Amino acid sequence: MQSTPLYQQHEALGARFTEFGGWTMPVQYSSIIEEHHTVRFRAGLFDLSHMGEVAVQGPQALEVVQQLITNDASRLRDGQVLYTPVCLPSGGILDDILVYRLGKESFLLVVNAANTAKDWQWIREVNSGRAVLENQSAATGLLALQGPKSADVLAELTPFDLDLLYYYECVQTDVAGVTILLSRTGYTGEDGFEIYVPVEKLQRLWHAIYEVLVRNQGLPVGLGARDTLRLEMGYALYGNELSESITPLEAGLAWTVAFHKPSFIGHEKLRQQAVAGVMRRLTGFEMVERGIARSHYPVYIGEKRVGEVTSGAPSPSLDKNIGMAYLPVSYRQPGNELEVEIHRRRRKATVVKIPFHPSSVRRRSHAI
| DSSP SS3 for 311 | strand
Percentage with pLDDT > 70 across the chain = 98
346, part of any domain: yes
**CB of 281 within 8 A of CB of 234?**
no
Residues 152 and 291 in one domain: no
| Helices marked H in the chain | 7-12, 32-41, 61-68, 116-127, 150-155, 202-215, 223-232, 267-276
Instruction: Answer yes or no: pTM beyond 0.85.
Output: yes
Q: Tell me: the pLDDT tens digits for 291-335?
A: 999 999 999 999 999 999 999 999 999 999 999 999 999 999 999
259, part of any domain: no
Q: Is the pLDDT of residue 144 over 70?
A: yes
Residues 66 and 202 in one domain: no
Which of 113, 135, 157 finishes a domain?
Answer: 135
Residues 159 and 128 in one domain: no
Residues 86 and 47 in one domain: no
Boundaries of domain holding 123? 53-135
Mean of pLDDT over the chain = 97
Q: Tell me: the pLDDT tens digits for 191-236?
A: 999 999 999 999 999 999 999 999 999 999 999 999 999 999 999 9
251, part of any domain: no
- CA 62 vs. chain centroid, Å, equals 23
CATH number of the structural domain spanning residue 160: 3.30.1360.120
Looking at residue 51, its pLDDT comes to: 98
73, part of any domain: yes
Q: Is the pLDDT of residue 363 over 90?
A: no
How many structural domains is the chain composed of?
Answer: 3
- Cβ neighbours of residue 214 under 8 Å, at least 6 residues apart? none
Burial class (CB in 10 A: 0-12, 13-18, 19+), 326: buried
Q: Is the pLDDT of residue 364 over 70?
A: no
Q: Tell me: the pLDDT tens digits for 171-202?
A: 999 999 999 999 999 999 999 999 999 999 99
Q: Is the pLDDT of residue 361 over 90?
A: no
Residues 144 and 111 in one domain: no
195, part of any domain: yes
